[in-house]
Amino acid sequence: MKLTDIFQILLSNCKLQQPQGRDIYRFRGNEENFIKNGETLLEERISLFDGKTNSIRCFSVDDLNSMNVNIYYISASINNKSCRGVWNGKSVLVKIYCIDFHYNNEVTLACACREIAVAIQMGTHRNAHRLLGYCLHTNHPVLVYEWEEKGNLMDRITNYKKGKSNETLEWKDRLRIAWEIAHAVAYLHTAFRRPIIHRGLIPGNVYLDQDNSARLSDFGLSISIPEGKKHVDDMVIGVSNYFIAPEYLRSGRVTKSLDVFAFDGILLFLLTGCSHRSYIQRSRFDLVEWVSECREVKCLDDVVDPTINKNGPVADEHFDRQLKALVELALSCLANDQESRPTMVDVATQLKNIITPSSSF
C-alpha cells in the first residue's frame, strides 16, 4: 500500500471533508464528540496534574474551518499529522489526530488529550512549543500550535545537507539548542507534583523559531510517575531505530533516565548531523560506535557535522574543549546501567557549563 493511500484512510477516519478548494480541510463535529473527548481530557488532567490546568482557548469547528488548513502535511507521525493554517492573520500549526493501524481508538484519543494536558502546563516554559488552543467537537481533538518559522530540528539540518536550505546551524547554535531542550525536559521531570516523562525525544519533535531557539513539542506519549515511586510500568512505545533505553525495551519500565537515554540521540544528531537511523542504513558502524572509536583514537573532529565548518568554529583549544566535553556527556547518557546515567538536571547543568565561556544565558 502506498503512503498516499494510507493517509487517505487516515483522513476518512478523521471524518474530514474537502470543500470546493481541494487543498483545504473541511472539519465537522458534534456535541457527542465534545462530551467524549472532554471526559478523556479531564481524566488526563486528573491523572497528570490533579485536575489543575492553565487557561487556554477552546476553538469551535467554525474556527477550524476559518483557518483554511492545508491538506498537505508539514510532518506526520503514526497517529497524527501536522498541517499549516492561518488564524488572525498569522500562520499556525494544526495537529490532527487520526485512527491508525497501530493504536486503537481509545489509545489515540488518550494520546491527543494527554498532549493537550501537558502542553497547556508547559506553556509557561520558554522552550516548549506553545499551544494556542484545541477543539473537542471533532472525532479526535484538534490542536492548534504557534507556527515556528524554522520548522523542526530534523528537517532544519537534513534540508541543508540535501541542498534544500541555504542556512546551516552553527556550532554555538547547536550547543544552545541542546541546552534549551535539556532544560525543557528537566522542567518536565521536576516542576510538577508527579514527574512527567516525555518518551518521544527525537529531532523531529523539536521546533525552531525565527531565532533558532528550541521549542520542545509532541507530548502525546508522555506518562507520569506516581508519587513516591521511581518508575511506572507501561507498554513499550516509541520511535523505532532511535535511542530507546534497553531496560525499557526489556521490561516496559519507565523512569526519568528513559528520557536521558533518548536525549542522547538529539545530542549526537546536533553533533554529527546524522540520525541513528540514517547512519546505520549506510554504514557498517553504529553511530555510537563510530563516535566512541573516534574518541579513543583522538580524532573527534571527524565526527563534527562538516556543514558547520564552512562558517563555523575554528579548531582552537576552546572548541576542542567544548567538543570533548560534549562527547563525554553524550556517551554518559548511554550508560547501560541506568543508575550511571546523569539526570536531565545534570545534563542541562553540564551543557550550560560547556557553553558559558562563549555565551551567556
Mind listing the pLDDT tens digit for each residue in 265-320? 999 999 998 876 656 555 556 888 888 888 888 888 888 888 886 445 545 668 88
| CATH superfamily for domain 3-146 | Phosphorylase Kinase; domain 1 (3.30.200.20)
The pLDDT, as a whole number, for residue 317 is 66
Quick one: how far is CA 119 from the chain centroid?
Answer: 12
Decide: 133 and 58 in contact? Cβ < 8 Å.
Answer: yes
Q: What is the pLDDT of residues 9-56, one digit of tens each?
A: 444 444 444 444 578 999 999 999 999 999 999 999 999 998 888 899
Domain residue ranges of the chain, discontinuous segments joined by +: 3-146, 153-355
Fold of the domain built from segment(s) 153-355: Transferase(Phosphotransferase); domain 1 (1.10.510)
State whether residue 90 is helix, strand or coil: strand
pLDDT tens sequence across 89-133:
999 999 999 865 556 788 889 999 999 999 999 999 999 999 999
**Alpha carbon of residue 327 to chain centroid:** 22
Please state, for a pLDDT cut of 70, what percent of the chain lies above it: 84
* The pLDDT value given to residue 353: 94
Q: Are 203 and 275 in contact (CB under 8 A)?
A: yes
Residue 260: which of 270, 274, 246 has the closest Cα?
Answer: 246
Mean pLDDT along residues 166-187: 93
- Enter the pTM of the model: 0.87
Count other C-beta atoms under 10 Å from residue 222's C-beta.
22
Conformation bin of residue 51: beta by default, left when phi > 0, alpha when psi is -120 to 50: left
Q: Where are the alpha helices (DSSP H) in the chain?
A: 3-13, 31-49, 61-66, 105-121, 153-161, 171-190, 246-251, 256-272, 276-282, 287-296, 317-332, 344-355
Determine the pLDDT at residue 19: 40
Q: What pLDDT is attached to residue 75?
A: 81
60: its cell numbers? 469551535
Predicted local distance difference test score (pLDDT) of residue 168: 85
* Average pLDDT of span 234-260: 82
Give 43-61 as a DSSP string.
Answer: HHHHHHHTT-----EE--H
C-beta atoms surrounding 278 within 10 Å: 15
Q: If 0-12 CB within 10 Å is exposed, 13-18 middle and 19+ buried, where does residue 226 land?
A: exposed
Triad 295, 301, 303: Cα angle to 5°:
70
What pLDDT does residue 323 have? 92
